[in-house]
């Protein structure tokens, strides 16, 4: 072949790339899954295009797994718990994916390395897949991208998807909205020693585990478990089908951790029996639809020049109390509509 002129290679076909990745993922190929999880976090339009085609392809093969959110403050021993819990699950024949969600983290290899050191044995196990699933500094990006990562893992054959929240912000609420069951792992502090759990977290939990119930902290752990059990009792349960339990466990010694798999099975069975399981997933999906529409509309609104030039001033007036929120909204919406209104047909 004689090369006469330089011609650039035709651009890769997004549909072909998506199809190739989908095929590999559905076969359970670990590297394809990892590539895909990285891809869905990219904001490049060409990557997004491939990601959208990919998700659409694999979607029919998703939905059967159990999605478990795990959260807890620093010092709770969450990593130790997840590793032990994961290994127990593998022993039971589960195929487990662990996604770490941290809205505030910077993307990068450091986080990945950290995770692999944290749960070294689990990350090496063939039946497990561990992956940080941060989405950069935008909390708005965490939810949709994590949802997609969950779907990819399910398509790859994992039957239990653990979504672990780390860091500050509203990660817990975000994750609770996309999982089936929410586990809270707490340190064995109680009474005066307690720093206090972030507000709103306790009520998200379907199961509360007081970790480090071993050695000198054993009594503390049981005392803490009793206190949380009393507190739970004061609040109306989320589901008539499920009574939230509080238990002292030891991830280090393996006490009470394996039993959590039974709890998950019981929870799923109880909620499936009444149709609540499916109904909850449908409600979560709908809420996510509205949230994404709302975010997109607000972004478009705020970036419209007529709004952008006025927003901070109106916001400042509203904050100062010299303009009501209703009046401020009216002004900005009028500016928005004036600029964007399509002329009547």
Please, what is the minimum distance in Å from the beta carbon of residue 153 to its own copies? 14
Please, what is the minimum distance in Å from the beta carbon of residue 91 to its own copies? 30
Token reading at 246: 């509080």
Cα–Cα distance, 250 to 81 (Å, whole number): 8
Distance of CA 20 to the CA centre of its chain: 26
If phi > 0 it is left, if psi is from -120 to 50 it is alpha, else beta; for residue 285 that is alpha
32 neighbors 25 (Cβ within 8 angstroms): yes
Q: How many residues of this chain interact with its own copies, rule: CB under 8 A? A: 69
Please give the sequence-ordered ranges of beta strands (E in DSSP) within 57-133, or none if there are none: 66-71, 96-101, 128-132
Give the number of C-alpha atoms closer than 13 A to the C-alpha of residue 214, restricted to the C-beta side: 12
Under rule CB under 8 A, residue 112 binds its own copies: no
Name the segment binding its own copies (CB under 8 A); options: 6-14, 91-99, 199-207, 212-220. Answer: 199-207
Under rule CB under 8 A, residue 296 binds its own copies: yes
Q: Tell the burial category of 307 from Cβ atoms under 10 Å away from its Cβ (0-12, 13-18, 19+).
A: buried
Residue holding tokens 């009574």? 243
Please, what is the minimum distance in Å from the beta carbon of residue 63 to its own copies? 5
Provide the 10 A C-beta neighbour count for residue 30: 12
Name the segment binding its own copies (CB under 8 A); options: 101-109, 250-258, 264-272, 290-298. Answer: 290-298
Q: Inter-axis angle of helices 276-303 and 305-320, to 10 degrees?
A: 100
Under rule CB under 8 A, residue 229 binds its own copies: no
Name the segment binding its own copies (CB under 8 A); options: 9-17, 155-163, 212-220, 296-304. Answer: 296-304
Under rule CB under 8 A, residue 243 binds its own copies: no
183 neighbors 207 (Cβ within 8 angstroms): yes
Question: Which one of residues 24, 125, 202, 306 is an interface residue with its own copies (CB under 8 A)?
Answer: 202
Question: Which one of residues 75, 198, 266, 308 is an interface residue with its own copies (CB under 8 A)?
Answer: 198
107 or 281, CB closer to its own copies?
A: 281
261 or 301, CB closer to its own copies?
A: 301
Under rule CB under 8 A, residue 238 binds its own copies: yes
Residues making contact with its own copies (CB under 8 A): 52, 55-56, 59-60, 62-63, 144, 147-148, 151, 191, 194-200, 202-203, 227-228, 230-231, 233-238, 281-283, 285-286, 288-294, 296-298, 301, 314-315, 318-330, 332-333, 339-343
């Amino acid at each position: 072949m004689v090369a006469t002129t330089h011609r650039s290679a035709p651009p890769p076909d997004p549909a072909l790339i998506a199809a190739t990745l989908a095929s590999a993922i559905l076969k359970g190929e670990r590297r394809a899954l990892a590539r895909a999880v990285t891809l869905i976090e990219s904001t490049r339009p060409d990557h997004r295009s491939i990601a959208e085609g990919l998700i659409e392809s694999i979607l029919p093969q998703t939905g059967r797994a159990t999605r478990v959110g795990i959260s807890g403050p620093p010092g709770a021993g969450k990593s130790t718990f997840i590793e032990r819990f994961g290994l127990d699950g593998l022993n039971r024949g589960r195929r487990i994916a662990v996604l770490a969600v941290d809205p505030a983290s910077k993307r990068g290899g450091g986080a990945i390395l950290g995770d692999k050191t944290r749960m070294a044995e689990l990350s090496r196990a063939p039946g497990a897949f561990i992956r940080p699933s941060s989405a950069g500094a935008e909390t708005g990006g965490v939810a949709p991208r994590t949802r997609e990562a969950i779907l990819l893992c399910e398509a790859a054959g994992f039957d239990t998807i653990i979504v672990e929240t780390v860091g500050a912000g509203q990660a817990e609420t975000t994750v609770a909205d996309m999982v089936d069951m929410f586990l809270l792992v707490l340190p064995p502090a109680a009474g005066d020693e307690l720093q206090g759990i972030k507000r709103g977290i306790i009520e998200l939990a379907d199961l509360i585990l007081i970790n480090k119930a071993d050695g000198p902290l054993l009594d503390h752990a049981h005392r803490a478990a009793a206190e949380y059990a009393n507190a739970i009792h004061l609040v109306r349960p989320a589901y008539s089908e499920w009574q939230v339990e509080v238990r002292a466990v030891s991830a280090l010694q393996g006490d009470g951790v394996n039993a959590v798999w039974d709890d998950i099975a019981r929870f799923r069975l109880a909620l499936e029996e009444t149709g609540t399981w499916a109904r909850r997933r449908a409600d979560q999906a709908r809420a996510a639809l509205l949230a994404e529409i709302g975010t997109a509309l607000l972004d478009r609104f705020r970036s419209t020049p007529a709004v952008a030039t006025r927003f901070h001033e109106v916001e400042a007036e509203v904050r100062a109390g010299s303009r009501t929120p209703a009046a401020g909204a009216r002004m900005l919406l009028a500016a928005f509509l004036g600029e964007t209104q399509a002329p009547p047909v």
